[in-house]
Copies of this chain bind each other. A is one copy, B any other.
Amino acid sequence: MVVKVYGTAYASPKRVLVCLIEKGIEFEAIPVDLIKGEHRSPEYLKLQPFGALPVIEDGDYTLYESRAIIRYYAEKYKSQGTDLLGKDIEERGLVEQWLEVEAHNYHPHIYNLTLHILFASALGFPADEKIIKESEEKLAKVLDVYEERLSKSKYLAGDFFSLADLSHLPFTQYLVGPMNREHMISSRKHVSRWWTEISNRPSWKKVLQL
């Protein structure tokens, strides 16, 4: 069964794509144009009532929220491709912890930076310099905690690559690329080593070429 993934031009759906590639699952990309408002169409809202990206369709099964989708595939195909959940329930607990840290500590700040630095003019509102400055400061503090953590383990949840690392890829790519904030990563020795490792995975390179 080929998994249909909606909205793959954007960052959150790329979280799903890199997971599917790591697990060796075939997918078909279905375009959704946010600028044209296609996420507000009645057809799309039947799939995702909040009008957000991504959604997957896998036969009769529909699922939304990128981090729910990656958990679903990592568990459903546990023994296929890269194991992204750890070898036991305690390791999985730490994967969940760092996946939540990504969602609640890392993402809000990097999302604000993305919105105000990259997308404000396309979306028709003025970039807010105060939000940019505050978000950069808050993200820097979070990265200081990451630096400490990554001085003790190879990846966030331990010495294994997991959903927690993978989940950081799409927005951090914006940060080091079009946002010109690579110094936030490269100035931190262990974060820099971690970023080099995860961003050089063949799965992520393949997503970037799509």
Contacts and interface: CB of A to CB of B under 8 A. Distances in A.
B68 A100 contact: yes
A68 B50 contact: no
A92 B71 CA distance: 9
A28 interface: no
29 contacts: A49-B145, A49-B149, A50-B101, A50-B105, A50-B145, A61-B90, A61-B93, A63-B93, A63-B94, A63-B97, A64-B97, A65-B97, A65-B101, A65-B104, A67-B96, A67-B100, A68-B96, A68-B99, A68-B100, A69-B93, A71-B93, A71-B96, A72-B89, A72-B92, A72-B93, A75-B89, A75-B92, A103-B103, A103-B104
Contacts of A50: 101, 105, 142, 145
A105 to B, nearest CB: 6
B65 A89 contact: no
A148 interface: yes
Contacts of A61: 90, 93
A181 B174 CA distance: 40
Question: In this complex, which of A69, A71, A142, A145 has the most chain B Cβ atoms within 10 angstroms of its Cβ?
Answer: A71
